[in-house]
Amino acid sequence: MKTNVTEEPISETSVSPLPPQKSAPLTVEIFRDLKALERIRTDWVALQQHPNCDFDFYSGVVSSTDSILRPHVIVVSREGRPITMLVGRIDRGTVDFNIGYKKLFGFAAKNLTFLHGGFVGEKSAEISRVLIDSLSESLRTGEADVCYFNHLRMDEDLFQQILMITDRQGYVARFAQRKHRGTSLAASGEGYMKLLTSKERNNQKRRVKRISEDFPNNKIQCYQDPVDFERAVSDIDQIAQKTYQRALGVAFSNTPEARRRLRDEMDRGWFLGDTFYSGFTGYDPAISKYAPGMYLLLRALELLCESNSHGRLKKADFGLGDAEWKIIIGDQEWEEAPVSIFAPNSKGRLFKRTRGAAEALDATAKRLLTRFQLLAKVKRIWRRELSAR
């Protein structure tokens, strides 16, 4: 990846526009087609913080995915200048009811889905209120049957305001609190290894020794050049096929959407701002005794820090979902929760009650398994069965 920086001459007569005054009234606009979004491309790019919401990636996914009906992007402006975005889309999908990894059943529904990392820009109680008013109106008028936030930070005002929604605005479903983890990065590989505990550094040395002894010709292949794209897809898919995540539909799969995202990331890089965002992970369970996943992850982070001598990258985001490896090497964490708001009508009430019953059953089962110290064992068995499919 090449970065070209061009210095432009500074004009003595140029004056930067004054920022909008916070006392000015807010305006809200919903963008419902890609052509209209081009009008705010520059503002979008300035606000975007997560690869999920990269303008070009988002546009490509919306235009090429059959189940996506259209964009639904709420933009809050002050004095004509966009200051906040809530990036979403209208999907033709289902409201699913699960116990653990098992989907029991689902109802056909029109979903207003807001992306993880899609709430960007200025944030305040006032802005949260106008966003909630907007999405509630979409539910009330039948634009969607359910509004789904793919994880919101629980320490943000938007989450707190959603908890206070009245039944006239929508029915908020129960939610599961989850950890989101990451780690600090250093400006050298050696510096990163020093961030780990001495126990984990010693564990990594043992992994390196054991893998080197049993696989003397092993090597780490880092795909960065777009000319290696097809080979990268083939290698990634070969491993992903053996993981339990593939059976759940959350692993890498050689689909047009996944290929597009991988190509975009190879062209642009796997980071925005000062953050590296990890993607799909997986390993062949047949060689699990070598802990190949943890070995490769730590080597990858070490190599990343070796190329970070400028110190621009400050942290790595491990993505959604918790895992033992994230707990072991992570030094940053925050609370998130997926949130569903059902339309304020009879259909919405049915969805909420049915999902509430399924989630209560799931929580009870997990509580009992945890009490008898069986939860981890059941998860391992379930994942092993899914990997074998």
pLDDT digits (tens, 9 = 90+) for 279-330: 888 999 899 999 999 999 999 999 999 999 999 999 999 998 888 899 999 9
Q: What is the pLDDT of residue 269?
A: 65
The reply to whether 174 and 217 lie within a common domain is no
The reply to whether 232 and 147 lie within a common domain is no
Give yes or no for residue 191 having a pLDDT over 80: yes
Whether 160 maps to a domain, the answer reads yes
The residue with tokens 């929580």 is: 363
Between 383 and 181, the higher pLDDT residue: 181
Q: What is the pLDDT of residue 21?
A: 58
Regarding beta strands 146-153 and 102-121, do their DSSP bridges make them parallel or antiparallel, or are they unpaired? parallel
- For residues 175-189, average pLDDT: 92
Residue 156 CA, distance from chain mean position: 17
Q: Residue 248: pLDDT band by 50, 70, 90 thresholds?
A: confident
Tell which residue, 49, 103, 52, 33, has the closest CA to residue 257. Answer: 52
The reply to whether 163 and 267 lie within a common domain is no
Helix H or strand E encompassing 169: none
Give yes or no for residue 105 having a pLDDT over 90: no
Q: What is the pLDDT of residue 4?
A: 39
Whether 286 maps to a domain, the answer reads yes
Whether 279 maps to a domain, the answer reads yes
60 CB neighbour count, 10 Å cutoff: 18
Whether 118 maps to a domain, the answer reads yes
Rounded Cα distance, 44 and 41, in Å: 5
Whether 104 maps to a domain, the answer reads yes
- For residues 1-6, average pLDDT: 37
- Residue 275's contacts (CB-CB under 8 Å, 6 or more residues apart) are 49, 182, 313, 314, 315, 316, 317
Name the burial class of residue 128, with classes exposed (0-12), middle (13-18) and buried (19+) by CB atoms within 10 angstroms of its CB: buried
Give yes or no for residue 8 having a pLDDT over 60: no
Q: What is the pLDDT of residue 131?
A: 98
Whether 88 maps to a domain, the answer reads yes
- Check: CB of residue 339 under 8 Å from CB of residue 345: no
DSSP state of 233: H
Between 371 and 22, the higher pLDDT residue: 371
The reply to whether 157 and 211 lie within a common domain is no
The reply to whether 151 and 223 lie within a common domain is no
Rounded Cα distance, 9 and 68, in Å: 45
Question: What is the longest distance spanned by two Cα atoms in the chain?
Answer: 73
Q: Which ranges constitute the DSSP H helices of the chain? A: 34-37, 41-47, 55-64, 125-140, 157-162, 189-195, 198-214, 229-240, 244-248, 256-268, 292-306, 324-329, 346-371, 375-387
Q: What is the pLDDT of residue 356?
A: 83
The reply to whether 123 and 167 lie within a common domain is yes
Whether 348 maps to a domain, the answer reads yes
- For residues 227-252, average pLDDT: 88
The reply to whether 162 and 194 lie within a common domain is no
- For the residues of 243-270, what is the DSSP string, one character each? SHHHHHT-S----HHHHHHHHHHHHH-S
- Check: CB of residue 389 under 8 Å from CB of residue 244: no
The reply to whether 230 and 155 lie within a common domain is no
- For residues 246-271, average pLDDT: 80
Give yes or no for residue 358 having a pLDDT over 90: no
Whether 8 maps to a domain, the answer reads no
Give yes or no for residue 385 having a pLDDT over 80: no
Q: What is the pLDDT of residue 174?
A: 73
| Choice among 142-146, 212-216, 281-285, 296-300 with the minimum mean pLDDT | 281-285
- pLDDT tens string 28-75: 999 999 999 999 999 999 999 888 899 998 998 999 889 999 999 999
- For residues 162-169, average pLDDT: 95
The reply to whether 38 and 138 lie within a common domain is yes
Q: What is the pLDDT of residue 247?
A: 77
Rounded Cα distance, 275 and 277, in Å: 6
- For residues 62-89, average pLDDT: 96
35 CB neighbour count, 10 Å cutoff: 8
- For residues 377-384, average pLDDT: 70
Rounded Cα distance, 312 and 187, in Å: 8
3-state helix, strand, coil in the chain (%, to 5): 45, 25, 30
Q: Sign of the C-alpha dihedral, residues 195, 199, 203, 206?
A: positive
Q: Whole-model pTM?
A: 0.84
- pLDDT tens string 262-276: 888 777 766 667 899
The reply to whether 305 and 356 lie within a common domain is no
Give yes or no for residue 201 having a pLDDT over 80: yes
Between 89 and 369, the higher pLDDT residue: 89
Q: Domain boundary at 256, 281, 313, which? A: 313
Rounded Cα distance, 349 and 343, in Å: 8
Distance, first Cα to last Cα, the chain:
38
Q: What is the pLDDT of residue 268?
A: 72
CATH number where 62 lies: 3.40.630.30
Give yes or no for residue 347 having a pLDDT over 90: yes
pLDDT > 90 in the chain, percent: 62
Question: Which residues span the domain enclosing 134?
Answer: 26-180+336-384
Helix H or strand E encompassing 121: strand 102-121
The reply to whether 222 and 306 lie within a common domain is yes
- pLDDT tens string 9-25: 333 334 445 555 556 89
The reply to whether 282 and 355 lie within a common domain is no
Instruction: Specify the number of domains making up the chain.
Output: 2
Between 227 and 317, the higher pLDDT residue: 317
